[in-house]
Structures are given as structure tokens and as C-alpha cells.
């Protein structure tokens, strides 16, 4: 079904133990325990040659430029406030 939308996908199988991250910590539990508490949905992500944000370099440049402008403007706003008050 995902292939119909141009999303690359693969199948996988649950082994004897299941490894996953929960609140930033790796958890290892027996497969049966996982299956009993599992909702039935899983998202697996992997990189491919097409992975990544389109036009990343341009977006990153703009992000950095905006940050530099914000840093440059913020101190000048504080100076302006001290003149007013």
C-alpha cells in the first residue's frame, strides 16, 4: 500500500527478543511480552540514497541568517529600550 504513494517499504519479523527505545532508553523484552502489549502498529525508519530534506543547504543557510539577524536585532532593541526608559 505504501508503494502506491511512492514510499519505499519492507517487511520485518519479530525475533525472540524485541529491542526498542522508550523515553530515550533502550528496552529489551521477550517477544511474547511485546506482542501482548503491542497496539499492532510499528514505524521502522532507515536511510536510503533519497533520504534527507530537499534543499537542506538552502534551508540551513536561511535558518542561520535568520538567527544572526535575530541576535543582531535583539541587543539593539535592548539598547533602544534603555534610551526610552
pTM score? 0.39
Mean pLDDT of 34-53: 83
Mean pLDDT of 60-70: 87
Percent of the chain with pLDDT over 70: 84
Q: Is 68 left (phi over 0), alpha (psi -120 to 50) or beta?
A: alpha
Q: What is the tally of structural domains in the chain?
A: 1
What domain range is 51 assigned to? 2-84
Look at residue 84 and tell me whether its pLDDT is greater than 70. Answer: no
Picking from 38, 31, 37, 36, the residue whose alpha carbon sits closest to that of residue 15 is 31
Picking from 43, 46, 14, the residue whose alpha carbon sits closest to that of residue 31 is 14
- pLDDT given for residue 81 in this prediction: 52
Amino acid at each position: 500500500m505504501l508503494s502506491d504513494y511512492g514510499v519505499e517499504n519492507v517487511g520485518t519479523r519479530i525475533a525472540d527478543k524485541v529491542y526498542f527505545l522508550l523515553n530515550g532508553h533502550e528496552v529489551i523484552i521477550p517477544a511474547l511480552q511485546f506482542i501482548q502489549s503491542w497496539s499492532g502498529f510499528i514505524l521502522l525508519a532507515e536511510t536510503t540514497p533519497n533520504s534527507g530534506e530537499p534543499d537542506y543547504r538552502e534551508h540551513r543557510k536561511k535558518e542561520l541568517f535568520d538567527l544572526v539577524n535575530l541576535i543582531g536585532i535583539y541587543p539593539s532593541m535592548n539598547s533602544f529600550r534603555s534610551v526610552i526608559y
